[in-house]
Amino acid sequence: MAMKILFGVFFLCLGSWSYAQEGGEAPMEKTELDALYSAIQGFVGNWWNGSDLYPDPCGWTPIQGVSCDIFDGLWYVTALNLGPTHENSLACAPNAEFRQQLFELKRLKTLSFFNCFVSNRRSSVSLPTGEWPKLAGSLESLEFRSNNGLTGNIPASLGNLTKLQSLVLLQNGLVGEIPENFGNLIKLKRLVLAGNSLTGPIAQSLGMLSELLILDLSRNLLTGPLPTSLGNLTSLLKLDLSDNKLGGNLPSEIGDMRNLTLLDLSNNSFSGGLGQSFENMNSLEEIILSNNPIGGELKSINWKSIRNLVILDLSDMGLTGEIPDSLSELKKLRFLGLDRNNLTGNPSPKLATLPFVSTIYLFGNNLYGDLKFPERFYGKMRRRFGAWDNPNLCYPIGTVAANNAPYGVNPCKQEEEEEEEVKLMKLKPNSKASLEEANLVASDGNSRFEIEGFWWELMGRTLTLTLTLTMVLVINGLL
């Protein structure tokens, strides 16, 4: 009996669903359907007639970029993606605009715009300010990518979207400061605000985002020091603050982010040397600190404690001192950039024992002495071993074939050449006197031969004259 009832209910529902499809009726609330079509028309243009093209936008005739789910037996829009992400995607019109109907999609979880607002329009577009709290109960992901015509400040009302797990505002034309109330977005796992023109400091409140995995604020105009509150982001995997105007010392709290795998602080104005707090970050795989006047010495860190490093870029940082042997303990290292610093000493050939290394840049330093790396290392690395522009660095002649010699490095001079240079250097302090002395030595060396030749010539001439006079006297009968 129970089975008959279940089969009856099933066929009744199936019949009702088929009737709705055959009658052209979408199983969606009219207010939801109207809001969807009006919102799309705001971005695509009024020419778009969704009711004719997609009578069932969540069923048999779905709209590209629109996803739905069923709640209480009815379809609701859960995702809306605008822009040319796919071949059949909805492309935005030149006069695209936000309509309030967008914020009436009460089950919307994902909203994204790609290359939808471009700068060649008659007027730029700003993000709405007061409507976002209407989506606070559902929205989990909000993305604006590559919209250079999207300008203005980031509205503080985005801080009310407390269910957000991903907020991406990438490569737009946004300006102003990061809203302080972004600290309310405690469920965020990804915050990307890169590629805008944001100014001001990094908000201290971002340290409250304890579930954050990715923080990317790169390629902006941010200023000020790193907030110490960032040390609270113990779940963080990737931190990219490169290409800003940040400065000051690196706080020791940075070492509390022990799960961090990527740290990119390049192209800023940080200073104060490298702290030992880096030794606590043993999950790091990439450290990129290049183009900062950080200064200090490499030996201030026991590098083998960061044993998972794959990329280490410390170029153009004003580093001094010698290259420590502990770098050769980084057995996973593939890239080592120490170029354009003030490093001294002789580079250790232990660096050649790194099993996976493919690039080592040491150029533009004050390294000196003979390079003692094996020839096969030079042959394998070629120009990816960069040691040029170290005036007192050379490679020994006879140990390396000419075609495998390290690029841009001069061969070491032979002992005879060095001795000759020493002699010349000894002459240099009083070059005039030395020149006279050299001339005098040369003159003394030839004087015996010149004098002896003179006397022989004189005696020959005297004998010739005597014989001539004698013959004259004989002829004249005087003898």
How do residues 19-67 score in pLDDT, each as one tens digit? 344 444 447 888 999 999 999 999 999 888 776 777 778 888 788 899 9
Q: What pTM did the predictor assign? A: 0.81
Q: Is the pLDDT of residue 273 over 50?
A: yes
Identify which has the larger pLDDT, 467 or 318: 318
Lowest mean pLDDT among 108-112, 188-192, 208-212, 450-454: 450-454
The rounded percent of the chain whose pLDDT value lies above 70 is 79
Q: How far apart are the first and last CA of the chain?
A: 180
Decide yes or no: CATH 3.80.10.10 for domain 295-313+320-413: yes
pLDDT tens-digit series, residues 197-226: 999 999 999 999 999 999 999 999 999 999
- 166-176 and 190-192: which strand pairing? parallel
How many CB atoms sit inside 10 A of residue 432's CB? 7
Which token pair is 349? 């050939």
The pLDDT value given to residue 2? 46
Q: Do domains 117-271 and 295-313+320-413 have the same CATH topology?
A: yes
- Hey, where are the domains in the chain? 26-106, 117-271, 295-313+320-413
The pLDDT value given to residue 231? 95
Cα separation of 185 and 168, whole Å? 13
The pLDDT value given to residue 209? 97
Lowest mean pLDDT among 61-75, 231-245, 457-471: 457-471
Give me the DSSP letters along 238-295: EEE--SSEEEEEPPGGGGG-TT--EEE--SSEEES---GGGGG-TT--EEE--S----
The pLDDT value given to residue 87? 67
Q: Is the pLDDT of residue 361 over 60?
A: yes
Q: Is the pLDDT of residue 269 over 80?
A: yes
Whether the CA torsion 290, 294, 296, 299 is positive or negative: it is: negative
Average confidence (pLDDT) over 140-164: 96
Decide yes or no: CATH 3.50.50.60 for domain 117-271: no
The pLDDT value given to residue 210? 96
The rounded percent of the chain whose pLDDT value lies above 90 is 69
The pLDDT value given to residue 250? 95
Q: Are 367 and 344 in contact (CB under 8 A)?
A: yes
